[in-house]
Amino acid sequence: AEMVVDCINLAGKLEAVVHFGNPFALEPLLHVKRKIFGYNMPGAQECAIDALAQMDYVDMSCIAVTGHSRGGKTALLAGALDERIAVVNPVQTCAGGGGCYRVHMKGIPEGETEEKPSETLADIWSNLGFWFGPQLGDYAKKEEELPFDSHMLKAMVAPRRLLVSEAAGDMWANPLGSYQTSVAAREVWKLHGCPENIQWYWRRGVHSHTYEDLTMLLSVIRNMRTGAPLHENMGRILFEA
């Protein structure tokens, strides 16, 4: 939470916090007078944005959502369904999020010696199938028969801003598959005449939500609000595409 506060302070005054997760995790933010907590509540982001719309100090043209892992899935789905969200930033969403059902990968993470695979539909269905509709499990180990893939979910954000954040050492999150779905989704932004509104950034490291991730998100927000140049590393990938 201290990292979040530091990053927000770089962008300006901390006026309000909307947090979807364990409320005890944001203890350093308890001094902020304007807080909305939505802990495991269906449609929490919609209710929160409804509430923000009633507050005259909130810039409703610059609502941004981000989340990591399961929270990244939540952020991506919220951005796809709620057009009031201007900037969507899913971080390392793994299978069932912004990765690719069809394209898998294996690799040796930096600093390790053993090869590790990316998460598949069969993997997430066996452990967390209750997160999804009941028919999705029918395609476990038969992903090529799916009538869709994750690029379609990403494309639902267009023409608004989408920043896809991944880590090169997080094999489980399938950074290669995420790149493939991002490139495929960009075609929809091209149709809207704004291919620059989908961005991606691959950093070194593993499965975590870092200061670096939030810095890149703030770069996109500043670019949208003030026209400031994007961070020099925006668009970086750490493998041969």
- First vs last C-alpha separation in the chain: 34
Q: Count how many Cα atoms sit within 13 Å of the Cα of residue 109 in the half-sphere of its side chain.
A: 17
209 annotated active-site: yes
User: Which among 69, 165, 178, 182 is annotated as catalytic?
Assistant: 69
**Could you tell me the two tokens for 190?**
């091209």
The single residue listed with the structure tokens 């969403």 is 93
User: Which among 19, 104, 151, 209 is annotated as catalytic?
Assistant: 209
Contact 212, 233 (CB under 8 A): no
Largest alpha-carbon pair distance within the chain?
A: 54
31 annotated active-site: no
Within 8 A by CB and 6+ apart from 186, the residues are 195, 198
Burial 29-41 (b: 16+ CB within 10 A, else e): beeeeeebebeee
Within 8 A by CB and 6+ apart from 148, the residues are none
Q: Give the helix/strand (H/E) hosting 18.
A: strand 17-19
Residues with a known catalytic role? 69, 209
